[in-house]
């Protein structure tokens, strides 16, 4: 049983990290990653959390600067001065509607502090069964065969290609012809409609691991119908907002695989519940990525060490996006990433990196 510690202060930081490769969004190309990061100081320890929200509200309604404001003005004040376990955070913040990524950052920080106080690792707490996990890389719509070759040469154990109408079969077929045995999957980010079912069925001949989120996130019936028309397993990402949502999607036949992003479901504890629901139903899961710094990247690796994560996720080393990470770099070892074994999430931000990349700091006491 974990002790209950009093939360004495919460620091909310905005940071900007330069990217080593441009990230394409609906509004153009970004060359930096804006982040909201929290530090929770308890009566026993400190803990760190990272908000998964991107720089602009295009993936979900949350975005990094908005999350930082919400954390400082509405979420942190509800925790400071309370006796709180990580498992209590969701209930304590329930009066604020929505904003799962911002809430997840606070839960992560409280969980980190709680586990550090007892010397227990996040991997052990969540139920990890392995000490390393296979890496995976996600390549954008602008990806070329040379980009795939670079990823293969680097040792990635799985490649994901973004697809969209007009940019799908040709590139995927070319990759498959050059690398017949490569574990390969595609991600549509909801870009298709059920009218594209016959077109998407042409992917069946290419031996893909899965098609991720082919239809809009609110179209479970459409996904269920599409699943009857294609052989390639459908994985839902944006549609999965909780363990209950995962159970509903599975029951309706809308997916054969589930993508778990801790920020999207409200935190690592709910992510474990999603994992458990899927595992009970015999549905494999894998861990999605959100251009995380080393803080959330380390926590994601711990999550991906649970037994239901049988498909390589979007788990890459720090160097995939950052020449200079917030933490000591997370590195690739023969295509795998080592599961952190130290207390809490197993990593802390480097003071010099915090000083270099912090653009604002608010402390709630």
Would you name the residues annotated as active-site residues? 162, 261
Tokens of 134: 């296979």
Secondary structure of residue 11 in the 3-state scheme: strand
Alpha-helix runs per DSSP H in the chain: 64-70, 76-79, 89-92, 100-118, 122-126, 145-154, 169-178, 197-201, 220-229, 243-251, 262-265, 268-280, 294-303, 351-357
What's the start-to-end Cα distance of the chain, in Å? 27
Tokens of 57: 């509200």
Cβ contact 102:70 at 8 Å: yes
Cβ contact 299:345 at 8 Å: yes
Name beta bridge partners: 40. Answer: 10, 47
Cβ contact 278:255 at 8 Å: no
Whole-number Cα distances in Å, 254 to 110, 222, 224: 34, 8, 4
Question: CA-CA distance, 359 to 357, in Å (whole number)?
Answer: 6
């Amino acid at each position: 049983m974990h002790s209950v510690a009093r939360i004495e202060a919460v620091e909310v930081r905005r940071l900007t990290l330069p990217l080593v490769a441009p990230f394409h969004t609906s509004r153009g190309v970004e060359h930096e990653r804006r982040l909201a990061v929290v530090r929770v100081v308890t009566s026993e320890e400190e803990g760190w959390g990272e908000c998964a929200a991107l720089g602009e509200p295009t993936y979900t309604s949350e975005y990094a600067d908005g999350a930082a404001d919400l954390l400082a003005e509405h979420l942190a004040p509800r925790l400071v001065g309370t006796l709180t376990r990580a498992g209590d955070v969701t209930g304590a913040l329930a009066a604020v509607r929505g904003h799962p990524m911002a809430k997840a950052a606070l839960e992560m920080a409280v969980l980190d502090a709680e586990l550090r106080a007892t010397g227990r690792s996040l991997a052990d707490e969540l139920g990890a069964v392995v000490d390393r996990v296979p890496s995976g890389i996600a390549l954008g719509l602008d990806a070329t065969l040379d980009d795939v070759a670079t990823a293969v040469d680097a040792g990635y154990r799985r490649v994901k290609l973004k697809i969209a109408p007009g940019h799908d079969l040709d590139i995927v077929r070319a990759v498959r012809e050059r690398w017949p045995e490569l574990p390969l999957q595609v991600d549509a980010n909801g870009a298709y409609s059920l009218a594209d079912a016959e077109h998407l069925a042409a992917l069946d001949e290419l031996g893909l691991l899965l098609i991720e989120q082919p239809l809009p996130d609110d179209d479970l019936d459409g996904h269920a119908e599409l699943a009857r028309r294609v052989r390639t397993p459908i994985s839902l990402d944006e549609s999965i907002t909780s363990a209950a949502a995962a159970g509903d999607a599975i029951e309706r036949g809308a997916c054969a695989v589930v993508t778990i992003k801790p920020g999207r479901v409200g935190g690592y504890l709910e992510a474990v519940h999603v994992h458990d629901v899927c595992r009970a139903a015999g549905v494999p899961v894998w861990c999605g990525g959100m251009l995380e710094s080393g803080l959330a990247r380390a926590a994601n690796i711990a999550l991906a060490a649970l037994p239901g994560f049988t498909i390589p996720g979007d788990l890459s080393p720090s160097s995939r996006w950052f020449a200079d990470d917030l933490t000591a770099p997370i590195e690739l070892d023969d295509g795998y990433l080592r599961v952190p074994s130290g207390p809490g999430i197993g990593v802390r931000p480097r003071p010099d990196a915090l000083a270099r990349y912090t653009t604002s700091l608010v402390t709630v006491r």
